[in-house]
């Protein structure tokens, strides 16, 4: 794994994004809608960095299954959203990739009555984003690489890492328990 952004860099960006959101929504009825599960760490830190009163809601989405590094069919559960009538909503997610999650969650938020919908993403893979979708608030623009840590996972692992790191093919093979070309058994590789 190669570290892309350290915990200190992340903390500084979350503080900056939180201050931008607070300034943009001062005097508004603000609600943050966090996207689970990957966005939970960013949401927890971001809500503390926003120095104005706001509510928090959660939706669950999933598009990566198991050890896949390519998104599959997007499943979304927004049934638990409360009435958002007249509220300014910022959808908070860990990463803006293709933009499909943002589009679907934003649609659900509008259906719940939001007066306005914006987005905040800690990470943005601009090279993969389609249809001109842009985050309204963003921490880091990153290359098209599979990243883990700070809530982002691979097959449920690595969410606990304080930094954001890039997994390469060797890391992925090790995680899957695959024998690496030119190496001994996985046990020998760990020693």
Distance from C-alpha of 125 to C-alpha of 46, rounded to nearest angstrom? 20
Q: Are 117 and 135 in contact (CB under 8 A)?
A: no
User: Of 97, 131, 153, 155, which residue is the catalytic one?
Assistant: 97
| Cβ neighbours of residue 111 closer than 8 Å, sequence gap 6 or more | none
Distance from C-alpha of 155 to C-alpha of 174, rounded to nearest angstrom? 12
Q: Is-catalytic flag, 97?
A: yes
Name the strands in the sheet holding 2-5, side by side, starting at the edge strand that comes first in the sequence.
Answer: 2-5, 164-167, 146-148
Distance from C-alpha of 141 to C-alpha of 28, rounded to nearest angstrom? 28
Task: Enumerate the active-site residues.
Answer: 97
């Amino acid at each position: 794994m190669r570290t892309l952004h350290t915990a200190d860099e992340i903390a500084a960006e979350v503080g900056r994004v939180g201050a931008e959101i607070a300034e943009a929504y001062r005097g508004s009825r603000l609600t943050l809608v966090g996207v689970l599960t990957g966005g939970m760490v960013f949401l927890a830190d971001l809500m503390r960095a926003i120095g104005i009163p706001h509510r928090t809601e959660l939706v669950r989405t999933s598009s990566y299954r198991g050890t896949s590094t390519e998104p599959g069919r997007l499943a979304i559960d927004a049934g638990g959203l409360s009435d958002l009538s007249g509220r300014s909503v910022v959808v908070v997610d860990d990463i803006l990739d293709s933009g499909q999650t943002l589009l679907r969650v934003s649609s659900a938020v509008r259906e719940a009555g939001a007066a306005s919908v914006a987005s905040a993403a800690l990470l943005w893979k601009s090279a993969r984003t389609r249809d001109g979708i842009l985050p309204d608030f963003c921490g880091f623009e990153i290359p098209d690489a599979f990243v883990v840590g700070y809530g982002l996972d691979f097959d449920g692992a690595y969410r606990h890492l304080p930094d954001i790191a890039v997994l390469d093919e060797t890391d992925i093979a090790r995680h899957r328990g695959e024998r690496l070309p030119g190496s001994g058994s996985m046990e020998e590789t760990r020693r």
